[in-house]
Structure 1
Amino acid sequence: MNRSLLSQQTRTDAGLAAVLRVAVGRLARRLRAQRPDASLSLGQTAVLFTLARHGQMTPGALAEHEKVQPPSMTRIIAALEARSLVRRTPHPDDRRQQLVDLTDAGREMVREDQRSREMWLARRLAELSPEEKDTLRAAARILEQLSQA
């Protein structure tokens, strides 16, 4: 996009929001395309990453974290379990509950996914000038702050 046109579009908060929405969405799609195993749904991939980040969780906690209904989470867990990417174990304090955790294969899939996406992004970043990278470093902090709001 032409820099002066982009500058005009981002002068207002509404214009900046529109440009960011499109750019972040496009980048997210490009990163999703780098997934080494596209046979997993985005929901399944999200559960693997959540377990990698937060450790074992109950199905209910996973459903709440991923903002899906419990029956949907049950289907996601069953599909991941069928592929030996997660396992269920009895909850140590509540016999009515189970805990879901990554298997070694699940952990390796998460690591490979992260490596693949980060390598793609690192190649794109290598094309940028030092000044552009500095700008992105500052923007990354701000985007992280926005994502937590």
Structure 2
Amino acid sequence: MTYAHDMPTVEKVSRTDAGLASELRLSVMRLRRRLAHERHPDNELSLNQMAVLGVLYRNGDLALGELAAHEHVQPPSMTRTVNCLEEGGYVARRPHDTDGRQVLVTLTGSGRATVLADRARRDAWLALRLRDLTPEERAVLRQAAPVLERLARTE
């Protein structure tokens, strides 16, 4: 758990790092909004619901608590999200293979197709934008992608 006294302050961050942090925050937020805008118009799911489908696609079947931890939400919130996804036919619940007390959430064929179609559409949009960049700019992004991923996963 992170406490307020653990949070960075202006005094703890150099001006150069603070400037870079501000530029990255703004750029990443704008790109995220733009990619969200590129979702398929028929996709009625929220970004949070799509994130849950993505977690299941990447990780396989998970318990509600594991899903909540992945998405940094409380279990009751995840239960509501999973209930909506289940009602829409995107996920199903099944008994845990070895622990009879647990229920796993599994991606259905419809959920998998929704994730893949959503990713394909947004990847295609981004690939078109990347073609407008120089080879050097694409090389910089290729190097930055794993660093950005590591930043996103840091607690």
- Could you report, residue by residue, the CA deviation over 1:18-59 in whole angstroms, capped at 9, with x for unpaired residues? 011000000011111112244211221111000000000011
Residue 152 of structure 2: aligned partner = 147
Take 1:21 and 1:82, find their aligned partners in 2: how far apart are those partners?
35
For 2:100, the aligned partner's letter is R
User: Secondary structure of the residue that 1:143 maps to in structure 2?
Assistant: helix
Query: d(CA) in 2 for partners of 1:12 and 1:83?
Result: 48
Residue in structure 1 matched with residue 21 of structure 2 by the alignment: 17
- Secondary structure (helix, strand or coil) at the match of 1:71 reads helix
Task: Identify the residue that residue 115 of structure 2 maps to in structure 1.
Answer: 110
Q: Does 1:31 align with 2:38?
A: no
Cα root mean square deviation, aligned: 1.4
1:147 Cα offset (Å)? 2.4
User: What is the TM-score of this pair, normalised by structure 1?
Assistant: 0.87
Give the match for residue 128 of structure 2.
123
Stretches (4+) displaced over 2 A: 144-149
The 3-state SS of whatever aligns with 1:39 is: coil
In structure 2, C-alpha distance between the alignment counterparts of 1:145 and 1:90, rounded to whole Å = 33
Which sections of structure 2, spanning at least 5 residues, go unmatched?
A: 1-14
* Structure 1 unpaired stretches of 5+: 1-10
